[in-house]
Amino acid sequence: MMQLKIPKQDILAQLIIQLESHFILTNIEKSVITDYLDLALEKCESNFWASSNKYFFIEMGGQKM
């Protein structure tokens, strides 16, 4: 069984990017989302180093290589 270790801030960034791509947005809306993403990632980065719970762990089937 394999276990993936994914930093939480990477998950946040991917979720916002995927949501953005599923909607038709104006340039102003895209700019607001980009600004929000930058601020959220900055906050995540500072919390990431202070937290002991930095990662999502995902179990995957199969054998370790």
pLDDT tens for residues 12-34?
777 777 877 777 778 888 788 78
pLDDT at 61: 65
Model pLDDT, residue 51: 66
Predicted local confidence at residue 62, as pLDDT: 58
41 pLDDT above the threshold of 60: yes
What's this model's pTM, rounded to 2 decimal places? 0.44
Apex 9 CA angle, 57 and 50, nearest 5: 90
Confidence at 52, pLDDT banded by 50, 70, 90: low
